[in-house]
Amino acid sequence: MASEYNEDLIKNGRVVVKQGNVAILDIPDNSNELATAFETIYFWPGLETCFKEVGRILKPGGSFMVVNESDGTDKTSLKFEKMIDGMKCYTVEQISEALKAAGFSKIVADHHDSKPWITVIGIK
């Protein structure tokens, strides 16, 4: 689906779509300026391990942005966490601590004023 959606960008050499395991990325060290994780860390096999791997592929000063619709405390997401095997909702604090433990030097977080939406950015 991602390849179909980005077909023109792929043909123009602007996008590469890969499927893989975030704990073992098939991407060279220090090769990217930005990595993002939208609505996906809920299923990652250990935040610190995966965040270290993301940090490995980022250039010095590179950014890793995590965006979730759950702040780890909202009732709806916690209900899904109980229903879906392997799902874990994280708080801003848990994500920030895992980023620090993975070697990110600066952490910036934002929480929507009225919804449980969060963005946490780690700078390598």
Q: What CATH code is carried by the domain that includes residue 35?
A: 3.40.50.150
DSSP string, the chain: -HHHHTHHHHHTTS------BTTB--S-TT-EEEEEEES-GGG-S-HHHHHHHHHHHEEEEEEEEEEES--S--HHHHHHHHHSTT-----HHHHHHHHHHTT-SEEEEEE-SSSS-EEEEEE-
Question: 16 in a domain, yes or no?
Answer: no
Question: What pTM was estimated for this model as a whole?
Answer: 0.90
Question: 6 in a domain, yes or no?
Answer: no
Domain residue limits at 83: 21-123
Question: 118 in a domain, yes or no?
Answer: yes
| pLDDT tens column, 93-106 | 999 999 999 999 99
pLDDT(18) > 90: no
Per the structure, the count of domains in the chain is: 1
| pLDDT tens column, 62-90 | 999 999 999 999 999 999 999 999 999 99
Question: 14 in a domain, yes or no?
Answer: no
pLDDT(2) > 90: yes
